[in-house]
Amino acid sequence: MVKYSYSNKFIWAAIIATIIVEIILFFHPFAPQVIDIKLILNSVLLIFLSIVDMKVTENFRTTFLFILMFYILIMYPMEFAIWYVYILLLLINIIRKLYSKKRILDSIIVTLYISSFLFLYAYSGVIVFKLIYKGSTYALNANIIFSLLIAFIVMETLTSLMFIISNKYFFKIDIKKKHLLLVLYSFFGDFISMILFLMFFLLFVENLIIIQILYVLFVFIVIFLFNYILKERLDISKYTELINDLNSRNYNIDDFDSINHSISRLFAKIKFDLNVENIYYFRETDDATLEIGLKDDIEIYKYVIPLLKELKYKRTKIIDIAKEELPHYNYHTLFIPYWKDNIILGGLVYSTDLNIIPSNCKLSINLINNRINSIINLYLKKEERKHLLINIVSLLVTSIEDNNYGLASHSQRVAKIARSLGIKLGYDKEKLDLIEYAGLLHDIGIVSYSRDIFSRKSQSELSDEEWNIIKKHPQIGYNILKNIKSLGDMPRWILDHHERWDGMGFPNNKKGNEISEESMLLNIANVIDSFIFGKSYINPVPLKIAEKYILKGSGSLFNPKLIKKLSPYLGDIMKPLIKGE
């Protein structure tokens, strides 16, 4: 199957733009033209500005491409100029994309898109210019300046509209203040570039005089500096927005897939805003390697990461890797490693076509990496705590099973019921896990009792002393668990799981809102299981009677608000227990 990276909307835009260009070419059959020194000079400049890394804004390069294309289209016969310009654009862009090692189909798609739209912008400007300017010769005067100004405004308006459309509909990026600022700066930049274009008229239309050439170079330098300052301002704005975006996102620290999804969306934005080729984060753990990034980037870095690890690094925050250092991966790469005991366990990898990566970019990428490290560290600590908690609970459950198998089965069912009730109340995953563990351990205090007590068939067979001993098991369970910090509030839930809403429970005769919702939930789960499956002193009853008893206990045994919330679900929760599901 042929693979490509662009959306269907983007591909259709490229196809439609190409078809429009082909229609224009069809109505202007090619006519050969003698190539002169002016055309050669323009062509060399056009190639230079298209291929050479100028380390300035893309707007700077595009503006000058407009100028050069515009000049060729108005100074040479249309039947020659449009063919010459379009074919030159196609050749330049396909070479650029293939050189950057994009997929062949991706290279073709983006070449058609860029070449066709650049051509259409310039062509539309020429049409407007020729509609306004009726002269047969091109001499510098008020009429031609006015016509050029209108033509450039039309071209820039089309460029700005297409920029907004491509952001919003092709790349799903919301248009924000910084995008509108970019459009505004672009207008200013192109207005200044108009001065340069007028100088081209002096250079090419009039005689070649050395002072005129020097003036053109002066204007070129002024615009270059203007765009360089603009680029710095825009880059700082972009980096600041990206960091704020990362910090403002919501992360579910309990779920790596959620973290991956949220940060990967940010990576997609970074790739678009900063013209980045690939960006990827990884962290090696004892169990697996955590990877964050878009699918294509993850596939690429499965090849690149082993190459990075083969390079010998000194312990440093940012490793700058030149294009030629990684075989078969012709990109300038930043690697910000995650060190532990002088071993690299992960890091952020950032690749671009640029020969020099600006210091602002390095600083911002490092800040983004630090934030991601913090998020991943929180996630791993939670996972470590979760594993520790599971191990503790497993050991304690084993002690219950060794003491009394029937009690262990009861605890497992209470845990399942408590989790089901928690789901209906909308508890998050972490709290659901805790309430389930509390169900497993709610009777941990009973393990200290003699097996003789458990052998009694009913409460009447227990002496008052023995019954008082049983009533102390929530307190004993709390004392066993209270110093295990990873259990959080769970010991207190277990302490109160036999307390009643009316204050007639045990061990502390708490009542009403003194009893936490979680404790009351454990109480309900415990009573449901006791009535359905029975206990040493309670005979099992039919499901309907158990449900009726629970509802009847509202306001005496149980929190009435809690029962009201759970009453629609009690039957559905109990039925699977009967079926053994």
SS3 282: strand
Q: Where in the chain is CATH 1.10.3210.10?
A: 404-579
Question: Rounded mean pLDDT of 391-416?
Answer: 73
| Confidence (pLDDT) at 435 | 92
The verdict on pTM exceeding 0.95 is no
| Confidence (pLDDT) at 536 | 59
Q: Is 426 exposed, middle or buried (0-12, 13-18, 19+ CB in 10 A)?
A: exposed
Q: Which of 24-38, 97-111, 344-358, 463-477 has the lowest mean pLDDT?
A: 97-111
Q: Where in the chain is CATH 3.30.450.80?
A: 249-378
| Confidence (pLDDT) at 51 | 63
CA atoms of 263 and 261, how far apart (whole Å): 6
348 forms bridges with which residues in the sheet?
281, 336
| Confidence (pLDDT) at 512 | 93
β-pairing verdict for 289-292 and 343-352? unpaired
pLDDT digits (tens, 9 = 90+) for 293-326: 887 777 777 777 777 766 666 666 777 777 777 7
Q: What is the CA radius of gyration of the chain?
A: 37
| Confidence (pLDDT) at 33 | 83
Q: How confident is the model at residue 493 (pLDDT cuts 50, 70, 90)?
A: very high
- Which two structure tokens, joined as six digits, stand for 103? 């997929």
pLDDT for 267 beyond 70: yes
100 closest CA partner among 297, 278, 302: 278
Question: Rounded mean pLDDT of 412-428?
Answer: 91
Looking at per-residue confidence, does 366 or 462 come out higher? 366
Instruction: Say if residue 507 is preceded by a cis peptide, omega within 30 of 0.
Output: yes
CA atoms of 292 and 263, how far apart (whole Å): 7
Q: Which of 137-151, 391-405, 412-426 has the lowest mean pLDDT?
A: 391-405
pLDDT for 217 beyond 70: no
Q: Which of 259-263, 278-282, 404-408, 488-492 has the lowest mean pLDDT?
A: 404-408
CA atoms of 279 and 271, how far apart (whole Å): 7
pLDDT for 88 beyond 80: yes
| Residue in the block written with tokens 């509202």 | 554
> Could you tell me which CATH number the domain at 404-579 has?
1.10.3210.10
Q: DSSP per residue over 336-378, as a string? A: EEEEETTEEEEEEEEEES-SS--HHHHHHHHHHHHHHHHHHHH
pLDDT for 56 beyond 50: no
pLDDT digits (tens, 9 = 90+) for 2-14: 444 566 777 888 8
- Which residues, 6 or more positions from 302, have their beta carbon under 8 angstroms from its beta carbon? none
> Could you tell me which CATH number the domain at 249-378 has?
3.30.450.80
pLDDT digits (tens, 9 = 90+) for 423-433: 999 998 888 98
Question: Rounded mean pLDDT of 188-199?
Answer: 61
pLDDT digits (tens, 9 = 90+) for 162-177: 777 776 666 555 666 6
CA atoms of 66 and 119, how far apart (whole Å): 9
Looking at per-residue confidence, does 544 or 41 come out higher? 544
Percent of the chain with pLDDT over 70: 71
CA atoms of 76 and 279, how far apart (whole Å): 45
Mean pLDDT, rounded, of the chain: 77
Q: How confident is the model at residue 89 (pLDDT cuts 50, 70, 90)?
A: confident
